[in-house]
Amino acid sequence: MDKATKMILFSLLLADVCSLVFCEEWKAKVVNNLEALVDSCVVVPCSFSHPRGTLPTSRLRGIWHHKSNKNQIIYHSDDSKIKDSFKERTKLLGALGQSNCTLEIMPVKDHDNGPFCFRIELVKTDNNDPTTDMFSFVEDCVEIPMLHEPPKPKMGPLKTAIIGKPYTVMCSVHHTCPSHMPVLTWNKGAKEDVIHIHKDLHNGKWEMASVLMFIPQEGDDDTELTCTAVFHEGLSSLTSLKLNVKNVQNYNHIIIPIAVTLATALLFGGLFVFMMKKYNMWNRMSRMSRSYIILTHSPNNAVSKSCGEQNVSKPRLPSPKSQPKSYNYNEDLGDDDYMNTADLNIYGNV
């Protein structure tokens, strides 16, 4: 056998031994501190592991006992071994074969404060006798502080309601008994108006929530909206808030007159501009028409002309060259006919 084969066989053998003896440990995971409501119930989450492989629930025995004394047993599969003050009040909710050791105490008494620890025994024989394979997880125990009054539910968000519009409000409460959850109820709205939500907050703490949606009316103003939490065994608490319901702000009485006024102003403004444009157009056309009529109806189609353009018929004057010069001025001045003719010619040039 070569060295590689020997190493493989040794590794497999070591893995088997580790899984059966060394690698698996006795471990438990238990919530260290968990509040409980007196006269109600409490559920203590618990899980564990052991080094003996997978065993069915019938080969496992789970025991809960007081930390200070292993003989003060608060839970055992054999009821005769349970302490009298805990008989018929404790039970396991989980299956030991699935490593679940969750404990329920119901109803809770004010002396159930612990600390309580879990113990596991491995039973491999048919006669169910205990063996040496057992372990008490005394390092992982739970203490249970007592609540003598049920916690009050919380409501929110607080906001103003509007008439006719959906209004949503939530109510929630914390608890430690998921096997018997508290019931949340409202003094308003119908059953179909409510949604319930259950949420795990971890470490044994839970939240029960209820969401209500309704449509407020005018009569709901200044009235109480109440959420009631009813715990197991009938314990209850409630929280109320006063509704503030208002009308929807309506500005129609302002908006409508303003809108009508603006629309009217725009309409009349548009008509005014249109009429002014039309008036100006007709005025221009009227002036053009009158000018055309005056031009077409003038007599003989006469057109005025400036003095420089008029053709004036002038009498023709005799040329000086055509008259014989006379050197006898006295004779000329005495000639009346000549003077009269000259006068006529002068007047003709005017």
Whether 143 and 255 map to the same domain: the answer is no
Whether 141 and 25 map to the same domain: the answer is yes
One-letter amino acid identity for 36? Answer: A
pLDDT of 252 higher than 80: no
Whether 32 and 133 map to the same domain: the answer is yes
Residue 333 has what pLDDT? Answer: 40
Whether 174 and 55 map to the same domain: the answer is no
Whether 143 and 222 map to the same domain: the answer is no
Residue 37 lies in a domain: yes
Whether 25 and 102 map to the same domain: the answer is yes
Which of 230, 265, 281 is at the close of a domain? Answer: 281
Split at pLDDT 50, 70, 90, the class of 310 is very low
Split at pLDDT 50, 70, 90, the class of 6 is low
Task: Measure the CA–CA gap between 110 and 144, rounded to whole angstroms.
Answer: 10
Percent of the chain past pLDDT 90, that is, above it, reads 40
Whether 131 and 220 map to the same domain: the answer is no
Residue 297 has what pLDDT? Answer: 55
Which of 124, 147, 170 is at the close of a domain? Answer: 147
Residue 162 lies in a domain: yes
Residue 304 lies in a domain: no
Contact status, residue 96 vs residue 113, Cβ threshold 8 Å: no
Residue 306 lies in a domain: no
For residues 59-63, average pLDDT: 90
Concatenating the DSSP letter of every residue in 29-75 gives EE-SB--EETTS-EEE-EEEE-SS----GGGEEEEEEETTEEEEEEE
Task: Measure the CA–CA gap between 71 and 92, rounded to whole angstroms.
Answer: 18
Residue 294 lies in a domain: no
Whether 185 and 269 map to the same domain: the answer is no
The pLDDT tens digits for 269-305 are 888 887 787 777 777 777 776 665 666 655 544 444 4
Whether 168 and 103 map to the same domain: the answer is no
Contact status, residue 167 vs residue 216, Cβ threshold 8 Å: yes
Whether 224 and 255 map to the same domain: the answer is no
CATH of the domain at 123: 2.60.40.10
The pLDDT tens digits for 138-184 are 989 999 999 999 999 999 888 888 888 899 999 999 999 999 999 99
**Domain carrying residue 272:** 251-281
Whether 38 and 78 map to the same domain: the answer is yes
Split at pLDDT 50, 70, 90, the class of 123 is confident
Residue 309 has what pLDDT? Answer: 44
Total number of domains in the chain: 3
Place of tokens 């929530």: 209
Residue 7 lies in a domain: no
Contact status, residue 230 vs residue 185, Cβ threshold 8 Å: yes
Which of 147, 176, 211 is at the close of a domain? Answer: 147
One-letter amino acid identity for 10? Answer: F
For residues 63-83, average pLDDT: 93
Whether 131 and 28 map to the same domain: the answer is yes
Global confidence as pTM:
0.62
Find the DSSP H helices in the chain: 3-17, 252-296, 329-333, 336-348
